[in-house]
Amino acid sequence: MSYFVVQRTLPGITPEALAGAGLRAKTCAAEMTREGTPVRWIRSFFLPETQQTHCYFEGPTAESVREVNQRANIPFVAIHEVKELTPDVV
């Protein structure tokens, strides 16, 4: 499994709309997992200054992460693979 960041620019997005999108992502990821492609939304960060949102997903490929976002009807700018680094491993 790999980690991916989904970058979005959602100007004027409200916390409610973010929560709605999160629920859509979660339900679509569950369906894809049921279909045999295990994808998981991990967490998201909203950057108020730039109005950007960074959403982290775990999945087999970037394509699987793209698909979950398309199914959830959440617009995005780019999807990149990321390498995880935490204080525990340095």
Partner 1 sequence: MDERRNQRVEADEILRATRFAIARAKQGARKEVTPDDLLAGLLHASARFGIVALGPWNIDLEELGESPIEETDASGPKVAYTPDAAAVFDRAATIARRDRSPNVEIVHMLVAFAEQRDGLMGRLKHTYGLTATEWRAALARWQPAHRNRTAPDGAGTQPVAGAPVQELLSPDEAAEFLGVHTQTVRGYMRSGKLPAHRLAGERALRIRRQDLLALLEPYEPE
- Please give the residue ranges that form the binding site for partner 1 (CB under 8 A): 14-21, 23-24, 26-28, 30-31, 34-36, 67, 70-74
- Residue closer to partner 1 by CB (options 19, 82) is 19
**Cβ-Cβ contacts under 8 Å for 64 (sequence gap 6 or more):** 32, 37, 39
Place of tokens 């979660």: 26
Listed in sequence order, the DSSP H helices in the chain are 15-34, 62-71
Contact 2, 38 (CB under 8 A): no
**Minimal distance, residue 31 CB to partner 1, in Å:** 5
- Residue closer to partner 1 by CB (options 60, 82) is 60
Quick one: DSSP state of residue 55? Answer: E
**Minimal distance, residue 14 CB to partner 1, in Å:** 8
- Residue closer to partner 1 by CB (options 10, 58) is 10
